[in-house]
Structure 1
Amino acid sequence: MPALKAGDSFPSDVVFQYIPWTEESGEITSCGIPIPYNASKEWANKKVVLFAVPGAFTPTCSVSHVPGYIKNLPNLREKGVDVVAVVAFNDPFVMSAWGKANQVRGDDILFLTDPDAKFSKSIGWADEASGRTSRYAIVIDHGKVTYAGLETERGSLKKSGADAVLASL
């Protein structure tokens, strides 16, 4: 499949993994049980911002990328966004811990995992050398892609940062 672009339908078979946040497992040292997250089904009738990072706990991702979305959650909600999700190739335990480290509670931002960067590879947006997820953002509105931006410069958030996504809404 070529890279997603505005006007495309979101694929019908996208399943990530994640660990749902719960109060009883809200501490960073607590582990939950990974479950499948059928994004195609869950997002079919919602407005969604999906942004991808090369890896949890990495410099640009932790210092700028995720914090930008946390800060802009109210603005994204004002624009009608129902779901904000971040995805990386890391396992669900690391992604869960990263959400907790960023003090994200509940489902404010879903911390999803794309094992082996399967989804990112399917849309041509995985790093060839490392096999990791590239840095990108996609807006899906009721199953249709309305924005898709892939970063081509290392550490850049010009296309995938919260400000760029907000400008596209």
Structure 2
Amino acid sequence: MTIQVGDTLPSITLKYSLPNKHDENACAIPQTLNTTEFFKGKKAVIFAVPGAFTPTCSSNHLPSFIEHYSDLKEKGVDIIACLATNVMYAWGKDQGVGDQILMLSDGNGEFCDALGLTQDLTKAVMGAKRAQRFALLVDDLRVAYVGVETGPGVGPSGPEAVLSHL
């Protein structure tokens, strides 16, 4: 079953990474966060991409959220998070997200499974468990908007769609 407006965000542990302050060329330092603890009391946009470093994700989806960062913040969004089932730190660094967008890894697809928003991209040689392209607007753990793409490109999962629901 797919998550719906009014549902509570599932409680799952996700990963993100912090830069190694002692050596910027060294591997990033993995961190964990529990979605319930982290998003409680906050207004957040969580958008998901099928894969880091993929064409639409790199040329459109993530850059559009960087471009609309100020607009989302002005509307009261506390956190903007990008999620995929890969390791996300290097892609975020490559895309220049800085501290604007939290790059979350759902490595086993548990969060996307709990949302009912996974897809099998084996035919595209990307693996059997990938995130669908989607965006959620969450306010104190309650889902206020769900935008899931049904075809190629970025529409309901983009920042313009999210902004129209704030």
TM-score normalised per structure 1 = 0.88
User: How far apart are 1:23 and its partner, in Å?
Assistant: 5.6
For residue 119 of structure 2, give the secondary structure of its aligned residue in structure 1: coil
**Paired amino acid for 2:40:** A
Aligned 8 A contact 2:19 2:27 in 1: no
Aligned 8 A contact 1:47 1:141 in 2: yes
Distance of 2:43 and 2:68 partners within structure 1:
16
Distance of 1:16 and 1:38 partners within structure 2:
6
Distance of 1:103 and 1:22 partners within structure 2:
16
Distance of 1:22 and 1:6 partners within structure 2:
38
**Paired amino acid for 1:163:** E
Question: Once the two structures are aligned, what percentage of the paired residues are identical?
Answer: 39
Q: Cα 1:109–1:21, aligned 2, differ >3 Å: closer, same or farther?
A: farther
Which one of 96, 99, 108 corresponds to residue 103 of structure 1? Answer: 96
TM-score normalised per structure 2 = 0.90
Aligned 8 A contact 2:14 2:106 in 1: yes
**Paired amino acid for 1:117:** G
Distance of 2:94 and 2:22 partners within structure 1:
16
Moved over 3 A (4+): 21-25
Q: Which runs of 5+ in 1 are unaligned?
A: none
Q: Cα 1:104–1:21, aligned 2, differ >3 Å: closer, same or farther?
A: farther
Between the two proteins, the alignment pairs up a number of residues equal to 160
State the partner residue of 2:113.
Answer: 121
Q: Which runs of 5+ in 2 are unaligned?
A: 122-127
Alignment of 1:13-92 (within 5 A): 13-21=11-19, 29-91=25-87
State the partner residue of 1:145.
Answer: 143
The structure in which a higher percent of residues are strand is 2
Distance of 2:33 and 2:105 partners within structure 1:
9
Aligned Cα root-mean-square deviation (Å): 1.5
